[in-house]
Structure 1
Amino acid sequence: MIKAGIIGGAGYTGGEMLRILVNHPQVEIAFVNSSSNAGNLISDVHTDLFGDTDLRFTDQISQDIDVLFLCVGHGDAKKFLEANPIDERIKIIDLSQDFRLNRNSSIENRQFVYGLPELNKDKIQSARNIANPGCFATCIQLGLLPLASKGLLQSEVHINATTGSTGAGQSLSKTSHFSWRNNNLSIYKAFEHQHLNEIGESLVQANGAPLPLGGTGGGLLTFIPQRGDFTRGILAAMYIESDLTEEQAYELYENYYAGHSFTHVSRKNIDLKQVVNTNKCLVHLEKHGNKLFIISIIDNLLKGASGQAVQNMNLMFGLEETAGLKLKAANF
């Protein structure tokens, strides 16, 4: 059994991590750290786990583990590791953005590998530290990687993507209150979302040569993020000028994802409910004149966060990639 520890277990990603690991056949949860909930039953905070576990939160950290999940806010993972030396034998999977970019991918003697299995599966299998991708980044990259792998990202990519309210985290803010979010739709960080940088690095890697992507607010990627009035999931709608026929595009995508367990190419139109509560990404393609239209959908808390983190753990420890992640969509 793999012994796992969780830092930041009271938030949305921590709760999803617990929901998966409580039922993972090859994992034992050693501790769940939450300084604000120390001593409380986990099921008192994550009430969906009532009857599944009698574990309590702790403010202690044990080194008697094999893997440590950092389910903390952006900036807090780096601070945690600086303040709490973790034994080198313990593998770390960080769900924040602290180590995703090449320039920030190391701390002291730890080097982090970008944890997108559809791009870095071989590297992940031999890695000791993983930087889990962002939710928007995962959804958008999985819609574009096959094109990048063949050098076919040579014109502007227009991206409109809508995320559920859980993408904003559990802490209350003006835009996460039910009364504001319900029956509402809004745009934020247009052209400048922070995930553009990690998307750009992955596409350049897949392309095998530099691309004029720029950083936030420039280059080939035009990204308009939206807040949706639903709880979970991301739908990204993208288009790019392309000489590929629709059949050629499908062959490219189907061949690229043939060896990947969770990303599937659908020749029928797709909707968000097909992936909510799963670790799947579905991709659908259409050709309209000289434009290739791409739809990519994921659950932001699973394939966009905790599910992908467990997928990475499975690869790191030589387990079946789908272990603990065979989840049916909440379709109704």
Structure 2
Amino acid sequence: MVEVGIIGGTGYTAGELIRLMIHHPKVNIRNIVSRSSPGTYLHLIHSDLLGDVNNIKFSNEIKNDELDIIFLCSGHGRSKKELFNISDKIKVIDLSQDFRMIENSTFKKRNFIYGLPELQKNIIRQSDNIANPGCFATSIILSILPLAKNNLLKKNIHISAITGSTGSGKEHSETSHFSWRNNNISAYKIFTHQHLCEIEQIINKVQNNFVSKIYFVPYRGNFTRGIISTTYTETDISLEDNNTIYKKYYNDHPFVHISDINVDVKQVVNTNKCILYITKEKNKLIIISIIDNLIKGASGQAIQNMNLMFNIEETCGLILKSIRF
């Protein structure tokens, strides 16, 4: 059994980690730390866990001598502080953005690997420290990764993507209030969203002769969870050949699927899937990608990475059905 600790246990991603891992056959959750709610029963914060974890309380202490791996869920900018309290012998998966960029990937003798399994599964298997990708970045990189791998990105890439309100995290802000979010939609951080740096970094790494621009317009949606991204770029390659390229690339990746018909977000909510739909209008190749921002975009992908790190079947604990209705 893998002995697991979670730091930052009251947030959305931590709640999803707990929900998934209490049913994971190879995992024992040993320690859940909350700096804001130590001593509080888990089910009083994560009410969906009532009946599953009735006797477990949040701790204020990291049990270094009992853990194999720690998931850092404290939020952006807080992970470095937590690392000072973690034994060097314990593996770490960080769900913040603190270590995703190459220039920030080394800290306290730890070297963090970008944890996108569909990009570098074998490297993740050999790693002790993983920077879990961002939710928008996951959806978008999976949309264009087969093109980059085949050196086919020649023109500018245009992206629009919309995320549910859980993408903003549990801390309150004006744009996360129900009265603002309900029956509403807005664009934000146009061309400047922090996940754009991740996307550019990975695409330039995979296709080092890519010199065009990536334009990304993110939207806040009036729903709770899920991401749908639409990406397009110019290409002379036929739709049939592009479908072949995508299906071949993702053939050995169990959570990415190519759909022959258009997709909608409810197909992936509550799952670790990414579903891609590829179409073409004249010389524009269009890729629509859907994921659950809290699972494939965060906690599910983190568990997928943990499975790889401990030589567990990649899909273990992640065979989930979507909430379709």
What TM-score, normalized to structure 1? 0.96
Determine helix, strand or coil for the equivalent of 1:305. helix
Determine helix, strand or coil for the equivalent of 1:313. helix
Question: Which residue of structure 2 aligns with residue 293 of structure 1?
Answer: 286
1-structure distance, mates of 2:32, 2:136? 27
Equivalent residue letter for 2:275: L
Determine helix, strand or coil for the equivalent of 2:228. strand
Question: Which residue of structure 2 aligns with residue 183 of structure 1?
Answer: 183
2-structure distance, mates of 1:151, 1:128? 30
> Is it true that 1:328 corresponds to 2:321 in the alignment?
yes
Residue 154 of structure 1 and its aligned partner are, at CA, apart by: 1.2
2-structure distance, mates of 1:78, 1:192? 24
2-structure distance, mates of 1:244, 1:272? 28
Determine helix, strand or coil for the equivalent of 2:154. coil
Question: Which residue of structure 2 aligns with residue 259 of structure 1?
Answer: 252
Equivalent residue letter for 1:326: I
* Larger CA deviation: 146-155 vs 309-318: 146-155
Residue 200 of structure 1 and its aligned partner are, at CA, apart by: 1.0
Determine helix, strand or coil for the equivalent of 2:75. coil
Equivalent residue letter for 2:274: C
Question: Which residue of structure 1 aligns with residue 210 of structure 2?
Answer: 211
> Is it true that 1:51 corresponds to 2:51 in the alignment?
yes
2-structure distance, mates of 1:316, 1:127? 7
Residue 87 of structure 1 and its aligned partner are, at CA, apart by: 2.0
2-structure distance, mates of 1:89, 1:120? 23
Question: Which residue of structure 2 aligns with residue 215 of structure 1?
Answer: none
1-structure distance, mates of 2:154, 2:103? 25
How many residues are paired up? 323
Residue 322 of structure 1 and its aligned partner are, at CA, apart by: 0.6
Report sequence identity in percent.
Answer: 54
Residue 233 of structure 1 and its aligned partner are, at CA, apart by: 0.4
2-structure distance, mates of 1:125, 1:267? 32
Query: Which of 73, 76, 79 is the aligned partner of 2:75?
Result: 73
Residue 2 of structure 1 and its aligned partner are, at CA, apart by: 0.5
2-structure distance, mates of 1:310, 1:26? 11
* Larger CA deviation: 43-52 vs 198-207: 198-207
Question: Which residue of structure 1 aligns with residue 306 of structure 2?
Answer: 313
Equivalent residue letter for 2:261: K
Residue 152 of structure 1 and its aligned partner are, at CA, apart by: 1.1
In the alignment, structure 1 segments of 5+ residues that lack a partner are 213-218
2-structure distance, mates of 1:55, 1:281? 33
Question: Which residue of structure 1 aligns with residue 144 of structure 2?
Answer: 144
Question: Which residue of structure 2 aligns with residue 271 of structure 1?
Answer: 264
> Is it true that 1:60 corresponds to 2:53 in the alignment?
no
After TM superposition, which residue ranges in structure 1, 4 or more long, deviate above 3 angstroms? none
Residue 78 of structure 1 and its aligned partner are, at CA, apart by: 1.2
2-structure distance, mates of 1:196, 1:152? 20
Residue 205 of structure 1 and its aligned partner are, at CA, apart by: 2.1
Deviation per CA, 1:242-290, whole angstroms, max 9, x where unpaired?
1111100100000000000101111111110000000000000001100
Residue 303 of structure 1 and its aligned partner are, at CA, apart by: 0.3
Residue 306 of structure 1 and its aligned partner are, at CA, apart by: 0.4
2-structure distance, mates of 1:220, 1:145? 15
Equivalent residue letter for 2:63: S
Deviation per CA, 1:7-39, whole angstroms, max 9, x where unpaired?
001000010010011111010001100021111
2-structure distance, mates of 1:16, 1:81? 22
Residue 120 of structure 1 and its aligned partner are, at CA, apart by: 1.0
1-structure distance, mates of 2:201, 2:35? 35
Alignment of 1:1-332 (within 5 A): 1-53=1-53, 54-63=55-64, 64-82=66-84, 84=85, 86-207=86-207, 209-212=208-211, 220-332=213-325
2-structure distance, mates of 1:100, 1:257? 23
1-structure distance, mates of 2:209, 2:164? 33
Residue 101 of structure 1 and its aligned partner are, at CA, apart by: 0.5
Residue 72 of structure 1 and its aligned partner are, at CA, apart by: 1.4
2-structure distance, mates of 1:277, 1:313? 19
Determine helix, strand or coil for the equivalent of 1:155. coil
1-structure distance, mates of 2:256, 2:188? 27
Deviation per CA, 1:144-190, whole angstroms, max 9, x where unpaired?
00010111111011100000000000011100000000000000000
Equivalent residue letter for 1:150: N
Determine helix, strand or coil for the equivalent of 1:257. helix
Residue 46 of structure 1 and its aligned partner are, at CA, apart by: 0.3
What TM-score, normalized to structure 2? 0.98
